[in-house]
Structure formats: C-alpha cells, structure tokens
C-alpha cells in the first residue's frame, strides 16, 4: 500500500498543520529501526505516575484495571508520519481542531468504523489499544500529561483511525470534505437571506 500517497492526501484534505502519525506494533524491528523494552526504572516511573494520579483523585484505583491497554507484550513500536511509514500501521493518529474532527468523525461513520462510545479523555494513551481492540475510530480530548509532553494546543485534540481501514477511511473523507465545501456555500447563501 502506498502510505506516502495516503499520508499526503489525509494532510492535504484537512489542511493539517502536522502530519498524521502511523503507529505499528511488531514482533521484530524492521530493517533500519531499533527496538526497546521498557527498563525497570521506566516501569517504576509509570507506577509512580499512576500513584500520583490516584492520590490527586484524578483517577480512582478501581479505574486502573478498566483503562484500555495492550494485552500482548510490547516488543517493537514503530511510529512515523503516515506518508513515511515503511510498515502497515495498526493505528493512524490525526491531531487537529474541532472542524477537522467533525469531518474525521463523519468519515469514520461513512466508512463503518465510527466510535460506539463518546470522546476519550484520560489517559490519552488508552485510545491506541482501544482502537486496535475495537476496530473503530476514537476521538480523544487529550489528558494533561499528554498536553504537556506533546505541547498539544488548547484548541487541538486527537482522532485515531484503525490502520487496516485507512485507505477506505480516506476515500470517505474525500467525499465528506467535498460535501462540506458545498454545504458551507449553501448555508452561507441561506444565512445571507435570513
């Protein structure tokens, strides 16, 4: 599959400021990349972070087990702009504002992968296994930790798409974007006569 074309098309259709990101989970690192296991100190850091979230009452202890997570051991995670992805993505993440997400949501519904739930919040990282497990697109508002580390702007949020459906999704997005351009003109004309 031509991910260069798909990544370029997705970015162009929505006039995104940032490239859509492809994430792939593999058993073995592809040539030219390197794999990593989570060192013990990072595992402890993660436990400490969750502990801090619980102590601040940001997260309840009983919620921890309900947070979507990978069920398989993490061997290799490969991430790159979709247009430069050398492997099939498990998830494609788009970072955009409300108008982008409106059209992304409409395209996901048209492609038959619309989210069955609402918009995700904390923790942001949970939406990646959520998309993989459900095979459905998920929007996320982004949690405070994610916003700090990624410098996600106040008017931005995320939309994650199952990688296996990205070509179908972009095909539907083309129709949605075109329809939105026509509908905008239609509604502006109506509003000018109101």
Segment 110-129 shows an average pLDDT of 82
Measured CA to CA, the distance from residue 70 to residue 129 in angstroms comes to 6
Whole-structure pTM value:
0.80
Domain that holds residue 180: 3-192
Q: In terms of C-beta density within 10 A (0-12 exposed, 13-18 middle, 19 or more buried), how is residue 31 classed?
A: exposed
Q: Is the pLDDT of residue 10 over 80?
A: yes
What average pLDDT does range 107-122 have in this prediction?
Answer: 84
Question: Is the pLDDT confidence value at 52 over 90?
Answer: no
Q: Tell me: the pLDDT tens digits for 57-98?
A: 777 777 766 666 666 766 788 889 999 998 999 999 999 999
Give the pLDDT of residue 28. Answer: 83
Q: CA 10, CA 95: separation in Å to the nearest integer? A: 11
Q: Is the pLDDT of residue 36 over 90?
A: no
Average pLDDT over residues 135-155: 91
Band (118; pLDDT cuts 50, 70, 90): confident
> How many Å separate Cα 19 from the centre of its chain?
12
**For 121, what's the count of Cα atoms within 13 Å in the CB-facing half-sphere?**
4
Who wins on pLDDT, 52 or 138?
138
Average confidence (pLDDT) over 34-43: 65
Query: How confident is the model over 166-192, as a mean pLDDT?
Result: 93
Per the structure, how many domains does the chain have?
Answer: 1
Would the CA dihedral through 78, 84, 88, 92 be positive or negative? positive
C-alpha distance from residue 78 to each of 40, 90, 91 (Å) = 21, 10, 11
């Amino acid at each position: 599959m031509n991910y260069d074309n798909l990544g370029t098309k997705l970015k162009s259709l929505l006039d995104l400021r940032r490239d859509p990101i492809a994430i792939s989970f593999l058993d073995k690192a592809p040539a030219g990349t390197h794999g990593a296991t989570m060192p013990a100190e990072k595992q402890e850091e993660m436990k400490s972070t969750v502990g801090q979230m619980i102590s601040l009452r940001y997260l309840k202890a009983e919620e921890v087990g309900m947070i979507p997570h990978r069920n398989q051991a993490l061997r290799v995670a490969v991430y790159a702009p979709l247009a430069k992805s050398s492997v099939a993505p498990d998830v494609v993440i788009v970072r955009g504002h409300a108008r982008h997400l409106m059209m992304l949501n409409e395209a996901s519904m048209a492609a038959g992968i619309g989210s069955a739930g609402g918009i995700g919040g904390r923790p942001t990282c949970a939406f990646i296994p959520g998309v993989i497990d459900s095979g459905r697109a998920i929007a996320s508002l982004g949690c405070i930790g994610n916003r700090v580390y990624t410098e996600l702007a106040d008017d931005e949020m995320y939309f994650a798409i199952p990688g296996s459906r990205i070509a179908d999704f972009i095909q539907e997005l083309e129709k949605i974007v075109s329809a939105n351009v026509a509908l905008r003109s239609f509604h502006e004309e109506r509003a000018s006569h109101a």
